[in-house]
Amino acid sequence: MKIMIVDDEQDVEILFLQKFRKEIKAQKLEVEFAFSGKEALEKLQNSGSTKVVYVFSDINMPGMSGLELLEEIKSKYPNIQVSMISAYGDRENYDLAIKSGAKGFFRKPVNFASLQHEIEGLFTQKRT
């Protein structure tokens, strides 16, 4: 199963690879990174969106925000599940994300146990 992490802070790549190393090593999970909303959309278009089943995106990024990315993904690739993350756990961003079709909403720092639980749920959905 392939997921995409979208965040303008490039150091998150090391963190996510470390946290999901067991799943990656067991070839249960493939993780791709994009460092802007625009790059994420380009990767989805160029590499075949059918491979990506889940996008985990920061909300506050320069250029295209995560909420704008969410709307684009839901419009062009409705089968891809998207969850949002923000350093600011304000109600307005939460409401906008859920209303726009987000599967989940996380606050920074990432609670990796919760995120792993959400991703494990995708494994279950994929099997059925």
User: Percent of the chain at pLDDT above 90?
Assistant: 80
Rg (CA), the chain: 13
pTM: 0.92
User: Does residue 62 have a cis bond before it (omega within 30 degrees)?
Assistant: no
Give the tokens for residue 36.
Answer: 């802007």
Report pLDDT digits (tens) over 90-128.
Answer: 889 999 999 999 999 999 899 999 999 998 888 776 654
Least confident of 4-8, 18-22, 70-74, 89-93: 89-93
* DSSP summary character for residue 88: S
End-to-end CA distance of the chain: 14
Q: How many helices (H) and strands (E) does the chain have?
A: 6, 5
List the domains of the chain with CATH numbers: 2-127 (3.40.50.2300)
Interior/surface letters 19-29, b for 16+ CB within 10 angstroms, e for the rest: bbeebeeeeeb
Give the tokens for residue 89.
Answer: 């756990």
